[in-house]
Amino acid sequence: MHTLVRDYESEYHFLYSVVHTFAVQEHPTAAPIYLLPNAIRTVLETFLSFKVPGMQNLSSGLDAIRARVIDKMSLSAIERFAETESHGLSLSALVEPSQKAIEEAHVAARALLVIVEQLDGDHARAMRRLCTDHPALG
């Protein structure tokens, strides 16, 4: 059985591990940069779908948690990254990702983990254990 099937219960678990593994790197590399915009958006949308039942879209989910998030700048960074980068509006990023794009992805990935921790510490700790035991990025 392939490890991606064996080690993760769902796509959410796998993508959370991708985001987590990238976020905890001290010096992130470009290797997962093509996957990160959609991974961050999917993790955020899935997490919010449980925290904000009945949300209409990503914006309404973020609006519902905005008052509970301590670091509003981090929330804004994630929202901007998820809304623009996950739609692939820039062809230049397909050729070679810039250091700025890598840094922006790193900020968004770290901010997402902080927000999950603030909103559901038990979930964040359980996911951190899963990601530590089974890192998605080699």
Does residue 121 lie in a domain region? yes
- Cα 48–66–100 angle (5° rounding)? 85
Does residue 138 lie in a domain region? no
pLDDT tens-place string over residues 46-72: 999 999 999 999 889 999 999 898 888
Does residue 45 lie in a domain region? yes
Q: How many domains does the chain have?
A: 1
Rank 8-12, 33-37, 42-46 by mean pLDDT and report only the highest.
42-46
Does residue 106 lie in a domain region? yes
Higher pLDDT among residues 63 and 31, named by residue: 63
Which range of residues forms the domain containing residue 35? Answer: 3-133
